[in-house]
Structure 1
Amino acid sequence: MLRIPSDRFFARGVAALTLAFAANAAHALTVFACEPHWAALVRELAPHAQVRSATHAGQDPHHIEARPSLLAAMRQADVALCTGASLEVGWLPMLQSRSGNGRVQAGAPGMLMAAEFVSLIDPRPGAGGSPFEGDVHPEGNPHFQLDPKRMLSVAEGVAKRLQQLDPARRDDIQRRWEAWSADWRGRIAQWERKAAPLRGMRVAAQHTTFAYLWGWLGIEQVADLEPRPGTPPSAAHLQRLLEQTRAVPPRAVVVATYQDARGAQWLAERVGSGVPVLQLPSSVTDDGPTATLAGLYDQLLDRLLAVPR
């Protein structure tokens, strides 16, 4: 069940935006996406929209500078789509406040948090109150873009909100959502058949970036290179991991493309012969085989399946 706010502020906002777009049916929605996977999703559902991604796949979305160019984009946005679950807490509120754009303030109909549409793993109520805790999210792990089933739920929620905000294109968005969701469900079935050999695979990884991917595929993360969330691997922590995993080495050591791979390389070289370091994308890229959501999943599976047994 989609959780769409029903308070009076939200209802008035939807009505106001609906009237504005109805008065100018030729107006294309301007969408500010906090991460490139959300930009890619909006382009699938509403290709007429003008979409700007605040970040790229080579950046850590926890730590982004609220640059003037992002502030300008936020000022112009009709809609903003972000992850939520405190992923962007270090920079999104500043952009919202300084933009002065009422359409994308917290609680406004044009401000969408993808986390509203899914359940999250590993919630930590009360956490995140101290900078010494690192990148801890009390709501739960925000990296759910790497679970295709949760992506389906997000896409449905986003499609419904876009239909509310752009009634002139309601039918077109509905058709695109239905076609995309049917194709996506078929891809999920194909991916799961293809990935069957990965079930039970043991990996070490940095952070919990790929936790949803591991859960979907049945992969076990046996070690985290970070001594605490968001903190780079230390020599002492890596030494402890080496002692813990040497008897039964992981098949691979995994980091995201935006993470420094030196700690992973140190562990892989010592934990067992031939253990590879995989730098995997966690979001879509501007070009190449991971430039689409489907291509991102294809690449992730291909890279994991290529790891020697």
Structure 2
Amino acid sequence: MRYLPLFIAAVLTGLISLPARADFHVFACEPEWTALARTFMPDAHFTTATSYLQDPHYIEARPSLIAAMSRADIAVCTGASLEAGWLPALLQRAGNTDIQPGQPGLFFAADHAQLFAPHDHVDRSMGDVHPEGNPHVHLSPDQLPNIAKALAERLGAMRPDNSADIFARYIKWRVNWNFHSANWQERAKALQGRSLVIQHTGFGYLLRWLGIDATMDLEPKPGLPPSASHLNQLLADPRLEDAAAILIASHQNQKPAQWLSAQTRKPILVLPGTVTDDSKTDTLAELISEIINRLESAMPEVANGSL
């Protein structure tokens, strides 16, 4: 809450004047970065390359995205090799010299975070492993403020005439984020020590922050589709008895989770891995709140307050 006086001062001095910035074009690789950048520059033009129903690892560099990238003032992406399969080709075809590696117009969120589980050595036998670490940092309550601050600073530097407004909006965002984070921390007390079956590590940062064990994975290796043999190994895993539910993202194939659920009667939680157009999950704060709501609903003893 230490940012509240700054925000109030910004309002009183007329910093939040909401000037039109329709001439500024933002290209976001994932919906979470559209939502965050729009918080700071709500009147800019936005193009989002992916949706919550798509796997951000695998996107086609289609003509509409090339055109959007060619006119973008800034591209906001995750980095840490998440978009390695399609972003380099998109940047090359767009031919926008302001949005290239090392230029201010290319912003990687992962550059402003401490990633979990980096690897000194990566080869194909390990599956879809990122050497920099888990790139799905947008669901990290502790990491997002650093990323948001860095993004606000970058936008302000690119539009100095609008920097005061951007900073004021960042302060407002940070106050709101701190409020939500305090609520999440209180609710996490009842979730600590519980366990889930997951598919991939998309929710990994949030689950670790909540104290939930998510070491049982439907994928035999990161990025590899669940196989019958691996699912049978999971079924024989004694830890499975303690798992409260099976958690998968909206873009993932539900059949492996459905098979395991049929064998164990564990509920399946299908949740968006990023923000959506639904008002319940259209910002990162609302998304995290909804994920926690659904986790609590899958654990009746938590929801009923008996723990």
State the TM bucket, normalised to the shorter chain.
0.7 to 0.9
Cα distance, 1:252 vs structure 2: 0.6
Quick check: 1:222–1:250 contact (8 Å CA) kept in 2? no
Quick check: 1:146–1:210 contact (8 Å CA) kept in 2? yes
Tell me which of 186, 209, 213 is aligned to 1:220. Answer: 213
Tell me which of 105, 116, 127 is aligned to 1:110. Answer: 105
Structure 2: distance between partners of 1:98 and 1:66: 9
Structure 1: distance between partners of 2:21 and 2:130: 40
Structure 2: distance between partners of 1:246 and 1:152: 35
Cα distance, 1:195 vs structure 2: 2.9
Please give the secondary structure, in 1, of the residue aligned with 2:256.
Answer: helix
Does residue 292 of the first structure (1) align with residue 283 of the second (2)?
yes
Quick check: 1:62–1:135 contact (8 Å CA) kept in 2? no
Cα distance, 1:247 vs structure 2: 6.4
Q: Residue type matched to 1:302 in 2?
A: N
Please give the secondary structure, in 2, of the residue aligned with 1:198.
Answer: coil
Give the match for residue 85 of structure 1.
80
Does residue 99 of the first structure (1) align with residue 94 of the second (2)?
yes
Does residue 51 of the first structure (1) align with residue 42 of the second (2)?
no
Structure 2: distance between partners of 1:193 and 1:161: 33
Structure 2: distance between partners of 1:118 and 1:300: 22
Structure 2: distance between partners of 1:297 and 1:178: 20
Q: 1:253 to 1:88 in 2, by over 3 A?
A: same
Cα distance, 1:246 vs structure 2: 6.4
Give the match for residue 250 of structure 2.
257
Q: Residue type matched to 2:203 in 1?
A: F
Give the match for residue 305 of structure 1.
296
Cα distance, 1:241 vs structure 2: 0.7
Give the match for residue 174 of structure 1.
167
Quick check: 1:62–1:90 contact (8 Å CA) kept in 2? yes
Q: Structure 1, residues 15-57: CA drift from partner, whole Å, max 9, x if none?
A: xxxxxxxxxx966320000000000000111112211111111
Q: Structure 1, residues 110-167: CA drift from partner, whole Å, max 9, x if none?
A: 100000100000101221x43x543210000001111122111100000010111000
Structure 2: distance between partners of 1:36 and 1:88: 13
Computed over aligned residues only, the root mean square deviation of the Cα atoms, in angstroms, reads: 1.5
Structure 2: distance between partners of 1:44 and 1:194: 26
TM value normalised by structure 2: 0.88
Tell me which of 214, 220, 223 is aligned to 1:230. Answer: 223
Give the match for residue 67 of structure 2.
72
Percent identity between the two aligned chains: 46
Quick check: 2:66–2:94 contact (8 Å CA) kept in 1? yes
Structure 1: distance between partners of 2:63 and 2:21: 29
Give the match for residue 22 of structure 1.
none
Structure 2 unmatched runs, 5+: 1-19, 302-307
Structure 1 unmatched runs, 5+: 1-24
Tell me which of 117, 125, 137 is aligned to 2:120. Answer: 125
Structure 1: distance between partners of 2:278 and 2:78: 22
Give the match for residue 143 of structure 2.
150
Tell me which of 243, 247, 268 is aligned to 2:236. Answer: 243
Q: Aligned pair count? A: 281
